[in-house]
Amino acid sequence: MNANKNDKFKATTEKNGNSCTVYLAGELDLSVAPDFRLVMEPLVSDAGIDLIVNLKDLKYIDSTGIGILLSILKARHGMEARFLVEQVPPQIQKLFDMTGIAKFFAPNENSQ
């Protein structure tokens, strides 16, 4: 139930060669966490692609969303497959810095 249409969570996948970018928009919170997991699951397990999550239009993330990103990081790290998070809005970067997850997104891979 999202009262404001602009806040409604959306995940759009775009494949380009051997990289795959998932564009997130709206609010990623507890209520849409299962939807986000569902979109990501097949992509995370595909070691043949570079997986990128673009947060440019993400308005809000809670600890559930941060937890999912963290579990993706762990899974990709275990598979030695690439996982990048790009275009992080300032208010979300602040949460990444506070929780300490920021250090796992390598700076050279995070600034494109």
Partner 1 sequence: MNAEVQRVVISLPARAEYVDIVRLNLYGIASKMGFTYEDIEDMKVAVSEACNNSVLYAYGKQDGIVEVAFEVFEDMLSITVRDEGESFERTSTSGSATLHDKELLDVEIGGLGFYLMEALMDEVSIENAAGRGTKVVMAKRLTRSEEKV
**Pick 13 or 91: Cβ nearer partner 1:** 91
Supply the DSSP string of 40-104, one letter for each residue: HHHHHT-TTSEEEEEEEEEEEE-HHHHHHHHHHHHHHHHHT--EEEE---HHHHHHHHHHTGGGG
**Pick 31 or 45: Cβ nearer partner 1:** 31
**Pick 17 or 103: Cβ nearer partner 1:** 103
Minimal distance, residue 9 CB to partner 1, in Å:
10
Report the amino acid identity of residue 53: V
**Pick 22 or 104: Cβ nearer partner 1:** 104
Binding residues (CB under 8 A) for partner 1: these are 1-4, 7, 27, 29-31, 33, 60, 62-64, 66-67, 70-71, 73-74, 77, 91, 95, 98-101, 103-104
Minimal distance, residue 85 CB to partner 1, in Å:
14
Minimal distance, residue 59 CB to partner 1, in Å:
9
Minimal distance, residue 102 CB to partner 1, in Å:
9
Rounded to whole angstroms, how far apart are CA atoms 5 and 13?
20
